[in-house]
Structure 1
């Protein structure tokens, strides 16, 4: 029996003065090994690959090492270089190959390419400082050895979360923040006591993966939000007080550790639908030069499909790209202990290479079933810029939750007093069973405002967007805001207008924090933050976008309202359901949900009605939890007949947005003098709770 001859082993050698040997193909990226660093990079069409080495901060490389052909395994080039100190170097790749854009090949050896798996990126350490465009986005190797001191992801039940969406830089950049290192991870950590006092237990951080704030914007404006990722494994260096020292990785880890110690989970907003390379007119600094046809969705003539609205779309369901996304998420969970991810324009993640929606997207299924991510929260923005809107139909595999855009729109339209909105508002209050019946209310991340759109203050101060400062002639930003200025556009001096705006904000907050599902607050809404009518402040690193800490005193009453509403939600499990209610009593005193109107037990679902009342009830171990909510979007007051309680119970008022502030703490709510009827003012939300009668 003859056997095929074995290939000769690839010998160790010496390149550019360094001892080298064939490296390990996996893991991809740069990895410390005894005596040196292992470099591994993937490219299907490369004719040659060279590793370019720099001393940190140097303009010119000190070595350029071409991978011997025998150091290639399949389409992976791997080489171990000895005598390197990982903390002292930066690196990149030059890849030569065919230049044939119509076929999708854009190899260019003149471009220095960043490693997609780089765990740190050099050149962006100081916010807003122009970098050297010849050698930007240098790949670095993150330091090892952070002491987690036993920290682990918290694993809080989804139904117990109150999410707080914030921007790391914007949260403490304002001079009023009073922190030592404004606009940084360390600055946010200094303000953790505020988050604890507010009562939130999860922060959703807008993009903290490395991006270039100077890219593609006129002078004075920035890519402030950061939805154009440069380094998917690398923290944003300029968000760290220690970024100039290369310690941004440890500073972000320290922030996560401190948040966990305070009982607060961390969700990262991640952007896998596109990259910062743009379309064919954009820069080539990584994926395009590594393997353009693999990493991007391309049209038959080699152009870029644009389902993200930014020029390109990542080819997420290609097996190699799928593996990249999975590796990235595993890295953030295992190395940074993050508790979850919110996926920007997640509908893209379910598209095939030609852009068509897949019935069973491999990436979404893989992330849902991955063992490392098993207890990680996965939240989808279930739409994209190509018109694919999947709220309620996102491929979930019993794991994914969604930003519920239909909740946002329903609350806004209801509070405006639009006709025909009561029935949908009822569905949204009980966790949107019309959308998530199989998955339960925890699939619905409820929100009224987010970074994208009006703030809560502006929602009731502007009918129209005012985006002229963005430099796009007012053409950017959504036109369908369902906002209402309460009778005057913009800043107002009329006290009646101001009182109505404040009441509408409280109405929205109270509905949000008493709805089934997972509530999400936008940072600053609790103190009346305004963007002056700008509903797309993505490019403003200024007071337009920053959290103004003077609002804590100036809007103390609104802040107190939010704190008490969050505490009320936490005190009542009947508002935090894991599964949908049924409308049945199941032997209890009342059904788990019942609907009411001007008359108890008699809801009005007609299109002209603008009043909705609901009673939530649960009994566990003999203790009853009963909350009654009435929302009047009418411009007239009404008198409501209340459901009758047993003799030992009485209705107590938690909040009346027209007249009474919320009770100071759960259990301190005043008892109603009239237990049969209650008045509800115009454009008002009323919340009552059943408690033991006073003196019993």
Structure 2
């Protein structure tokens, strides 16, 4: 029979393991009764020990704490909290509920549906291993991001991965990632969440839909157990921590950084009809922003039912502690913040930018070297692209939209395209930030894949069970003449060319390029531009397409390699439109079909430019000339003359067999006929 003894304890957050027992601490300002329950197994309904905390000596300020001798790592615990039940004032305490600790390092998986969820006691310090796991510490300007989902990447049988759909399954594809040439993976959320909380079926198949993306977290410290191997009660110890930590270390050994997509703007507890799992039951009015006139309802800046009250000191501290844990203990390299505009709002919803949690994060002494990436908008109409504090990079939605429109053939895009190619100084230069503050992307998990972008004019989301009302309507896509799948070889050729045109612009633009998982093998979601609930073969990466679209993969790989080889494509400073090194060339010069005559008119469909290879870091002396033609007919471009050097063709996306040439193909004339809807890259030697 195990024996337990309660002592005064300490007010350190969460559950902290010591040699003789475990210290527990929880915040609740409005509670008047707090109880800790200890369980021996994940499936147990009856605790092996219960302790009612005494507010006279188990509480300091609004923090409740106790040290329990006899409790050990591997045990489980929950909290029960009682307080006023006054929904109109925002209080919904219910002592009957078992609540999760916001600081829990591991949470029982969805496997144990016959019992309530519990927190697992973990000594996370043993996962530090900093001497064995050294971060690559790559400069941001040299980064090439690959946005991916743990499960969707390897779940398909044709991935030939043994541990499919898991943290460890990624290890079997590290050589593939290295061959592609990316330098960082950006993982869709890995915080604990419930994939089966969706109460909706696929109307076409009748199958239950699952929240596979994971954007509804229930804990900010616990890695999801949905991606661990051999899930069963006997293995539920700290596998999710161990296997995630192994993934980080092995990626680092391969020179690949790991960026986490983190969700701090809302939680999986949803609106007033949602479950009470943790924050609602601990202190609802503190953790969430409630409507002023009706505190029974939640402000919904996130579009998912609730909004975390990130301006409250306790919530701020929770988020900072979470980030420090993942960066300092789990050893990840950075974070991408979902709907980060919410983190820049005050409790009344006003944008306060430099005065907000965003500034606290970028100024934090622990997080000062982490890569911080923001999604600069939210679901309440907030669009603050370019307004984030110094130290932040941002998803550049304007880059995405302008490049899509230009490649589609829209008018009025050329001037803005030039600004985006130059690193968007209009957005980021005004606050003193660098070109690499711009995370350039054409596609991301939200929206069409790149192949679907050139294959569909309209979204096809009926299988999501929302009558095709979900997902973005304005995709700036073009199906190249036929909606969806086709065997028409001419349509397929055009689609491939359009994809390559996207890749060219993405890889020659100043800033940090981001690639969506599977775009390099023409992944399709069959027109679904919001596949968050599709946990099936239509959404799992189909590795058979790697052979079918080997030319797309090769082009991606070679363009990534090309970018790495030229520092002038990865500048620390914006172009100044002048000859800064005395070689007779401006750092960048803009052209049209005629030299020094760019066509900025509304009807223009083309742009050319020359980048001086003798930039601040590069002494190779190879200059880069790019011509982009989104017109449907051929255009003849004059090629600049550089004394003592000749031009060689590297890329011509119209050349189906050799879109990217590894040979020195000499250009023996002073012009180049760029075919309709195609791009070229020349280098000088």
1:262 equivalent in structure 2: 254
Q: Distance in 2 between matches of 1:140 and 1:653?
A: 60
1:91-110 alignment runs, 5 A limit: 91-110=77-96
2:653 equivalent in structure 1: 657
Instruction: Select the residue among 630, 634, 643 that pairs with 2:631.
Output: 634
**Shift of residue 144 of structure 1?**
4.7
Contact 2:102 2:278 (8 Å CA) reproduced: yes
**Shift of residue 241 of structure 1?**
1.2
1:74 equivalent in structure 2: 61
Distance 1:658 1:241, change over 3 A: same
**Shift of residue 230 of structure 1?**
1.1
2:15 equivalent in structure 1: 30
Correspondence 1:623 to 2:620: yes
1:598 equivalent in structure 2: 593
Correspondence 1:342 to 2:324: no
2:226 equivalent in structure 1: 238
Q: Distance in 1 between matches of 2:462 and 2:118?
A: 32
1:5 equivalent in structure 2: none
**Shift of residue 548 of structure 1?**
1.1
**Shift of residue 673 of structure 1?**
2.4
2:138 equivalent in structure 1: 156
Contact 1:120 1:142 (8 Å CA) reproduced: no
1:589 equivalent in structure 2: 584
2:51 equivalent in structure 1: 65
**Shift of residue 663 of structure 1?**
4.2
Contact 1:601 1:643 (8 Å CA) reproduced: no
**Shift of residue 137 of structure 1?**
4.5
Instruction: Select the residue among 492, 495, 509 that pairs with 1:501.
Output: 495
Contact 1:221 1:539 (8 Å CA) reproduced: yes
Correspondence 1:574 to 2:565: no
Instruction: Select the residue among 646, 661, 665 that pairs with 2:643.
Output: 646
Contact 2:3 2:70 (8 Å CA) reproduced: no
Q: Partner of 1:604: helix, strand, or coil? A: coil
**Shift of residue 142 of structure 1?**
5.1
Q: Partner of 1:49: helix, strand, or coil? A: strand
Q: What do residues 437-464 of structure 1 show as CA deviations (whole Å, max 9, x unaligned)?
A: 1212111000000000000000010000
Q: Partner of 1:121: helix, strand, or coil? A: coil
Bigger drift between 415-424 and 140-149 goes to 140-149
**Shift of residue 508 of structure 1?**
0.3
1:56 equivalent in structure 2: 41
1:83 equivalent in structure 2: 70
Instruction: Select the residue among 293, 299, 308 that pairs with 2:291.
Output: 299
Q: What do residues 389-424 of structure 1 show as CA deviations (whole Å, max 9, x unaligned)?
A: 01122x22x100000000000000001111111000
Q: Partner of 1:568: helix, strand, or coil? A: helix
Q: Distance in 2 between matches of 1:257 and 1:359?
A: 34
2:542 equivalent in structure 1: 548
**Shift of residue 60 of structure 1?**
2.0
Q: Distance in 2 between matches of 1:231 and 1:618?
A: 48
Correspondence 1:166 to 2:148: yes
**Shift of residue 152 of structure 1?**
2.6
Contact 1:197 1:563 (8 Å CA) reproduced: yes
2:205 equivalent in structure 1: none
Distance 1:657 1:635, change over 3 A: same
1:425 equivalent in structure 2: 417
Distance 1:381 1:137, change over 3 A: farther
2:602 equivalent in structure 1: 607
Q: Distance in 2 between matches of 1:262 and 1:166?
A: 17
Correspondence 1:113 to 2:110: no
Q: Distance in 1 between matches of 2:321 and 2:423?
A: 33
Contact 1:642 1:677 (8 Å CA) reproduced: yes
Q: What do residues 588-611 of structure 1 show as CA deviations (whole Å, max 9, x unaligned)?
A: 231000001111111110111101
**Shift of residue 123 of structure 1?**
3.0
**Shift of residue 478 of structure 1?**
0.5
Cα RMSD (Å): 1.4
2:204 equivalent in structure 1: none
Q: What do residues 198-250 of structure 1 show as CA deviations (whole Å, max 9, x unaligned)?
A: 00000000001111100123252100100000111011112111554231101
1:145 equivalent in structure 2: 126
Correspondence 1:518 to 2:503: no
1:272-421 alignment runs, 5 A limit: 272-300=264-292, 301-302=294-295, 303-393=297-387, 395-396=388-389, 398-421=390-413
Which consecutive unaligned segments of at least 5 residues does structure 1 have?
A: 1-15, 692-696
Distance 1:622 1:472, change over 3 A: closer
Q: Distance in 1 between matches of 2:647 and 2:121?
A: 62
Q: What do residues 1-20 of structure 1 show as CA deviations (whole Å, max 9, x unaligned)?
A: xxxxxxxxxxxxxxx95211
Q: Distance in 2 between matches of 1:374 and 1:99?
A: 42
Q: Distance in 2 between matches of 1:137 and 1:646?
A: 72
How many residues align? The count is 663
Q: What do residues 303-340 of structure 1 show as CA deviations (whole Å, max 9, x unaligned)?
A: 21000001100000111100000000000011111100
Q: Partner of 1:182: helix, strand, or coil? A: coil
Which consecutive unaligned segments of at least 5 residues does structure 2 have?
A: 202-207
Q: What do residues 268-314 of structure 1 show as CA deviations (whole Å, max 9, x unaligned)?
A: 00000000001111100100111111110011221210000011000
Q: Partner of 1:585: helix, strand, or coil? A: coil
Q: Distance in 2 between matches of 1:544 and 1:355?
A: 38
Correspondence 1:179 to 2:161: yes
Q: What do residues 165-220 of structure 1 show as CA deviations (whole Å, max 9, x unaligned)?
A: 00000000000111110000100111000000000000000001111100123252
Contact 1:92 1:139 (8 Å CA) reproduced: no
Q: Distance in 2 between matches of 1:349 and 1:143?
A: 27
Contact 1:115 1:139 (8 Å CA) reproduced: no
**Shift of residue 546 of structure 1?**
1.0
**Shift of residue 492 of structure 1?**
1.5
Q: Distance in 2 between matches of 1:148 and 1:249?
A: 15
Correspondence 1:45 to 2:40: no
Q: Distance in 2 between matches of 1:251 and 1:139?
A: 16
**Shift of residue 671 of structure 1?**
1.4
Correspondence 1:451 to 2:445: yes
Q: Distance in 1 between matches of 2:652 and 2:530?
A: 33
Contact 1:142 1:249 (8 Å CA) reproduced: no
The runs of at least 4 consecutive aligned structure 1 residues that moved more than 6 Å come to none
Bigger drift between 103-112 and 135-144 goes to 135-144
Bigger drift between 478-487 and 489-498 goes to 489-498
Q: Distance in 2 between matches of 1:462 and 1:495?
A: 16
**Shift of residue 621 of structure 1?**
7.1
What is the TM-score normalised by the length of structure 2?
0.95
Contact 2:651 2:682 (8 Å CA) reproduced: yes
Contact 2:72 2:121 (8 Å CA) reproduced: no
Q: Distance in 1 between matches of 2:23 and 2:320?
A: 21
Correspondence 1:218 to 2:200: yes
Q: Distance in 1 between matches of 2:618 and 2:243?
A: 46
What is the TM-score normalised by the length of structure 1?
0.93
